[in-house]
């Protein structure tokens, strides 16, 4: 990846970087003028099945729950909000940090 290229979003997420645009579905805005914010609503819980199968180790194997809300803000004031499942949440948060650092450079 070239140093001046936007970081690629994680596979399996609704985000795309194409022709210097960040796209969410059919909505798009200039990538260099966009910021990506995450609102972490994810959590972890112990399920009965995990407790029965893993015993006291179930507390280390908590199930991820909830969705991550991602807000993409364009320089023109438009925004797009999307939800990401808990399995992709950590990857999307890391990408959002990298994207914002790239956009501010």
What is the domain partition of the chain in residue ranges?
33-104
Q: What pLDDT was estimated at residue 26? A: 93
Nearest to 88, CA basis, from 27, 4, 14, 5: 14
Q: What pLDDT was estimated at residue 48? A: 64
Q: How many helices (H) and strands (E) does the chain have?
A: 2, 8
Q: What pLDDT was estimated at residue 1? A: 44
Question: Average pLDDT per run of 10 along the chain, which is 105 residues long?
Answer: 79 93 94 87 61 69 75 92 88 92 89
Q: In what order do the strands lie in the sheet with 68-73?
A: 35-40, 68-73, 79-84
> Can you tell me the distance from the alpha carbon of 90 to that of 45, in angstroms, rounded to the nearest whole number?
17
Q: What pLDDT was estimated at residue 29? A: 95
Other C-beta atoms within 10 Å of 32: how many? 15
């Amino acid at each position: 990846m070239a140093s001046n290229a936007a970081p690629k979003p994680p596979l399996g997420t609704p985000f795309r970087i194409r022709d210097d645009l960040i796209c969410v579905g059919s909505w798009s805005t200039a990538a260099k003028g966009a910021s990506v914010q995450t609102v972490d609503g994810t959590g972890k819980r112990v399920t009965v099945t995990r407790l029965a199968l893993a015993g006291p180790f179930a507390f280390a194997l908590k199930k991820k729950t909830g969705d991550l809300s991602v807000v993409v803000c364009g320089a023109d004031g438009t925004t797009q909000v999307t939800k990401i499942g808990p399995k992709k949440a950590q990857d999307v948060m890391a990408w959002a940090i990298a994207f914002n650092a790239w956009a501010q450079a």
